[in-house]
Amino acid sequence: NAGVTQTPKFQVLKTGQSMTLQCAQDMNHNSMYWYRQDPGMGLRLIYYSASEGTTDKGEVPNGYNVSRLNKREFSLRLESAAPSQTSVYFCASSPPVQPQHFGDGTRLSIL
Amino acid sequence: AQKVTQAQTEISVVEKEDVTLDCVYETRDTTYYLFWYKQPPSGELVFLIRRNSFDEQNEISGRYSWNFQKSTSSFNFTITASQVVDSAVYFCALSDYFYNQGGKLIFGQGTELSVKP
């Protein structure tokens, strides 16, 4: 089925380790987004890419980097993981003026 | 600054009761969009509705209805005759949109709805 695919679905890291969360969409959407979801705080935007070749910071960008590899793929990197980055991460994509389609999420635990 | 407030953290109802989930938003933009998403226990986010700031008509979709009132900056969601399958966390979200700049979503904290048999 068409949609947004996130890998991995689960990951446990040790403090200081690095990793990249992958996201790919096959709906030819221009815009892609990374959110994190923490209990009682809803989803908060980390970074977004309005179109291929552009990226911008969202509400909580510290400790993260992103790469819009091509129109399909938008990756999120944690260079030196911290326990405060334990969260569920969602990738989303959307065409202009349309609702965002979300992936199933990546549950990340940092010990 | 944009903000979305869902004051109800948790709501518990008995099946077949009607329930309204409140959403209040803040924005200085004249053009904006409001959304509701559902997150069932399985964790995925399911889009329910989008409303733009120029369309204040209420909308009904089956047992779901939405009441958008710009005068009170509210976009409330009512489930009529609730069912156990409606148990989920519901998020209200706000987006300003500028073409070619993406549509960043500002989410409320979510309301966890529990429908008991």
Q: Which residues of A86-107 are buried (b: 16+ CB within 10 A; e: fewer)?
A: bbbbbbbbbebeebbbbbbbbb
Compute the C-alpha angle A109/B45/B32, nearest 5°: 115
Query: Running along chain B, 117 residues long, what does each successive block of 10 average in pLDDT?
Result: 93 97 94 93 93 87 94 96 97 77 83 97
Report the pLDDT value the prediction gives residue B66, as an integer from 0 to 100: 95
Length of chain B measured in residues = 117
Report the pLDDT value the prediction gives residue A11, as an integer from 0 to 100: 96
Q: Do A60 and A49 touch, CB atoms closer than 8 A? A: no
Interface probe with B: pick from A56, A68, A100, A106, most Cβ of B within 10 Å: A100
Inform me whether the pLDDT recorded for A1 exceeds 70: no
Query: Which comes out higher in pLDDT, residue B103 or A34?
Result: A34
B101 interface with A at CB cutoff 8 Å: yes
Other beta carbons within 10 Å of B101:
15
Report the pLDDT value the prediction gives residue B1, as an integer from 0 to 100: 78
- Dihedrals phi, psi of A86, to nearest 5 degrees: -65, 120
CA distances in angstroms from A111 to A35, A36, A37, B10, listed in the order given: 21, 18, 18, 30
pLDDT, tens digit, 9 for 90 and up, residues A50-90: 888 899 999 999 999 999 989 999 999 999 999 999 999 99
CA distance B28 to A102: 27
Subunit contact A105:B43, Cβ cutoff 8 A = yes
